[in-house]
Amino acid sequence: MKLTSVNSQLGFLILFLVFAGCDYRPESELVSGHWKYTSVEKNSQSLFEIGDNDIMILQKDSLFEYHINSVNKHMYGKWSYSDHTIHLKYIEPDTTRHFTVDLLSDHLLKMHEGEVHFSFTRVKTD
């Protein structure tokens, strides 16, 4: 096939549309937001019941909080993200936990710490 001016222009238009439609955001920015717990499992068994108000909030200013009402967990602190890992530095108790991210998209977050797997859906975008 001979490359003509029309073919060339059409090719550039297609490339422009493909790349213009891509909304790239770094993972560290994509992970921030309001997340609803959908499951917490160990060995494919649910560890506790998830309620409608069980959430984790990773704010853009590096503050976090999460609430799991069924087990009376309400934690606060600072978070960071590096090498596909979310680091949560708790205010009380003074400790840091590291969660390996297995899946991260605009709407889903799956991560684990040891053998415990956490799944979330995004409920609000910052």
Tens digit of pLDDT per residue, the chain (126 long)? 555 665 666 555 554 444 445 566 678 789 999 999 999 999 999 999 999 999 999 999 999 999 999 999 999 999 999 999 999 999 999 999 999 999 999 999 999 999 999 999 999 655
DSSP H helices, the chain, are 5-20, 27-30
Alpha carbon distance 112, 116 (integer Å): 6
pTM greater than 0.85 = no
- pLDDT for 27 equals 81
Buried b (16+ CB within 10 A) or exposed e, 79-94: bebeeeebbbeeeeee
User: Looking at the domain covering 26-124, what would its CATH class be?
Assistant: mainly beta
- pLDDT for 12 equals 56
- pLDDT for 24 equals 65
pLDDT in tens, 30-59: 999 999 999 999 999 999 999 999 999 999
Please state the φ and ψ torsions of residue 53, each to the nearest 5 degrees.
-105, 15
Alpha carbon distance 7, 19 (integer Å): 18
- Residue 47 has, within 13 A of its CA and on its CB side, a CA count of 14
Please state the φ and ψ torsions of residue 104, each to the nearest 5 degrees.
-145, 120
Cβ neighbours of residue 23 under 8 Å, at least 6 residues apart?
none
- pLDDT for 14 equals 56
